Structure 1
Amino acid sequence: MRKIYVIGIGAGEPDHLTLQAAKAIGRTDVFFLLDKGEAKQSMIELRQRLMKAYGRPGRRVAEGRDPDRDRTPADYQGTVADWRSRRSAVTEALISENLLDDETGAFLVWGDPTLYDSTIAILDEILSRGRTLFDYEVIPGISSVSALVAKHRVPLNRVGKPVQITTGRRLAEGWPEGVDDLVVMLDAQQAFAAHPEAEIYWGAYVGTEDEILRSGPVAEVAEEIKETRAKARSDHGWIMDTYLLRRPPAAEERGEG
């Protein structure tokens, strides 16, 4: 039986790699890379550095072209389902054509494979078709969420309070009830600007040499973050940013009522 590792490699800092991940890389015969184009070449380069540092001699690399998708679709769910289907076809071809019986393959996943990443769902979709068989194991990684709050030196949660991880698309629909601390990912529309009363801890390219951090009351830093984000995206051709949005405590929690 062929085996595949889905390995979380951290948010961009090579030293984020865990010992478990490094050992899995060392056991891998074939690494699968989906090329997202020249604009994201730096993401490929980090993977290549890790393969060189921890990979075994004779390792192979199988590359495929990651399908494009509409980032502002009218039918979001349908568009994502279509993209995953096309991506699973590319991925299945890479596995069936390059991974021999009893060999081990690996996908090196940015951040953590269980947090807003499609690799696990795509492998399950391939297995459900029954044409390409393998076993797979998920190796956790340091997520952009963990890296972000560590860089800002703030706890993710407040005492006795829940934290919700969501997307900019969902935040744009309204602040969820019962939660005062939100981690927001995939926010191309910068939905935080609609909440001037909140405190924001924002970061882009966290853990890389291009890291940018900003924090403060949304009312004071929203425009700066928007301008910084737009320039960074223009300079690099892509951006990966995350932020913690924190409402101030209610009056009764502050002892005022």
Structure 2
Amino acid sequence: MTLHLSLVGIGSGNPDHLTRQAIRALNRADLILLPRKGSAKADLADLRREILAEVLENPATRIAEFDYPTRDAATADYRQRVEDWHDAIAARWVESIAAHPGATRVALLVWGDPSLYDSTLRIATRLNPRPDIEVIPGITSIQALTAAHAIPLNEIDGPVTITTGRQLRETGFPAGVDTCVVMLDGECSFQSLPPEGIQIWWAGYAGMRLQITDHGPLIDAGPRIIAARAEARAAHGWIMDIYLLRRRGQAQISS
């Protein structure tokens, strides 16, 4: 029988972020895959468990926990490291599903939304035979960020670029836009930019109970954010953060 795989966007781990569509998909599943990412990130698995404890009503649904493979740092080529890592994750999925015979409807909880800077969809296509894939959209960290600061994502008629910390370090502020959102940044890459004329809106643990925020001119807020991020990571063992940068141009900077 064809495997049906539901990739369920869960927002930032707040049960209130789940849609009714997501809750229905979880309760239809025969098996739910739950990754563990080591003791330093045990909170992430605990949040998934809390969500399932709150919304799961089908007693027949089984939960399979598995250890997430680590990315090999020895390979010099970044893209190859990612490809190899995705292969290893797909293999863990296959092992977990095979250990539960008869599970034809499988669900996986995905932080934020499966379509935005997330590789779950790419990993799903590596399964052989390829499953019937269903995507349940979720609240993204971008939405959680702008909601936390009560700001619009874009200026009037203004384009927005969504990028990564690595790209910001290597290429600078994206050309042709006054607003960019930076994700997947473990190095506070805004430090690589000339700060004059740039505003920043930052959130750590956006949308979660642990949420912390800061904003202001980059030249002033940048050092505060670096210190707050380091303190939060030391306290909790992990941090996920995101920020929006807006520079002066034709667009008017929100305050």
Q: Do the aligned residues in 2 keep the contact of 1:99 with 1:105 (CA within 8 Å)?
A: no
**Rounded Cα–Cα distance in structure 1 between residues aligned with 2:241 and 2:75:** 21
For residues 98 and 228 of structure 2, what CA distance do their matches in structure 1 show? 43
In structure 2, relative to structure 1, the CA distance for the partners of 1:106 and 1:57 (3 Å cut) is same
Q: Which residue of 2 aligns with 1:14?
A: 15
1:30 and 1:99 in contact (8 A); partners too: no
Q: Which of 150, 175, 200 is the matching residue for 1:177?
A: 175
Give the match for residue 122 of structure 2.
Answer: 121
1:219 aligns to what?
A: 219
Give the secondary-structure state (helix, strand or coil) at the position aligned to 1:126.
Answer: coil
Please identify, of 151-160 and 11-20, the stretch whose mean Cα deviation from structure 2 is larger.
11-20
Normalised to the residue count of structure 2, the TM-score between the two structures is 0.91
CA distance in 1, matches of 2:17, 2:102: 30
Query: Among residues 62, 79, 82, which one is paired with 1:80 in the alignment?
Result: 82
Q: Secondary structure at the match of 1:188?
A: coil
CA, structure 1 residues 186+99, in 2 after alignment: closer, same or farther (shift >3 Å)? farther
The separation in 2 between residues aligned to 1:151 and 1:83, in whole angstroms, is 33
In 1, distance between residues paired with 2:154 and 2:114? 22
Secondary structure at 1:125 match in 2: coil
Deviations 1:113-138 (A, max 9, x none): 111111111110113xx3xx531200
- Classify the secondary structure of the residue corresponding to 2:125: helix
Following superposition, the deviation at residue 73 of structure 1 comes to 6.8
TM-superposition CA deviations, 1:62-116 (whole Å, max 9, x none): 1211111257974211211111111111112122332526x31100011111111
Native 8 Å contact 2:11 2:111 kept in 1: yes
Q: Partner of 2:96 in structure 1?
A: 94
Query: How far apart, in 1, do the equivalents of 2:111 and 2:73 lie?
Result: 19
Structure 1: distance between partners of 2:74 and 2:236: 20
Distance 2:188 2:100 in 1: 41
Q: Which runs of 5+ in 2 are unaligned?
A: none
User: What residue in structure 2 maps to residue 232 of structure 1?
Assistant: 232
In structure 1, give the amino acid aligned to 2:186.
A
2:99 counterpart SS class: helix
- Opposite residue 217 of structure 2, the aligned amino acid is P
56, 60, 63: which one aligns with 1:61: 63
- CA distance in structure 1 between the aligned counterparts of 2:140 and 2:87, rounded to whole angstroms: 25
Which residues of structure 1 form unaligned runs of 5+?
Answer: none
Asked if the contact 2:13/2:51 (under 8 Å) is kept, the reply is no
- Describe the SS at the equivalent of 1:62: strand
Identity %: 44
CA–CA distance in 1 between the matches of 2:72 and 2:174? 27
Matched residue type, 1:61: I
Change (3 A) 1:195 1:24: farther
Q: What's the C-alpha RMSD, in Å, of the aligned pairs?
A: 1.7
For 1:178 and 1:239, the matched residues in 2 are separated by 31
- How far residue 23 of structure 1 moved from its aligned partner, in angstroms, is 1.1
1:177 Cα deviation (Å)?
1.1
Asked if 2 retains the 8 angstrom alpha-carbon contact of 1:147 and 1:207, the reply is yes
* One-letter identity of the residue aligned with 1:52: A
Tell whether 2:156 aligns with 1:154.
Answer: no
State the Cα distance separating 1:11 from its structure 2 match.
1.4
Give yes or no for contact 1:2–1:100 (8 Å, CA) kept in 2.
no
> Which residue of the other structure, out of 135, 140, 147, is the alignment partner of 2:137?
140
User: Is the contact between residue 125 and residue 131 of structure 2 (CA under 8 Å) also seen in structure 1?
Assistant: no
Q: Quote how far apart the aligned CAs of 1:7 are.
A: 0.0
What SS is found at the alignment partner of 1:209?
Answer: coil
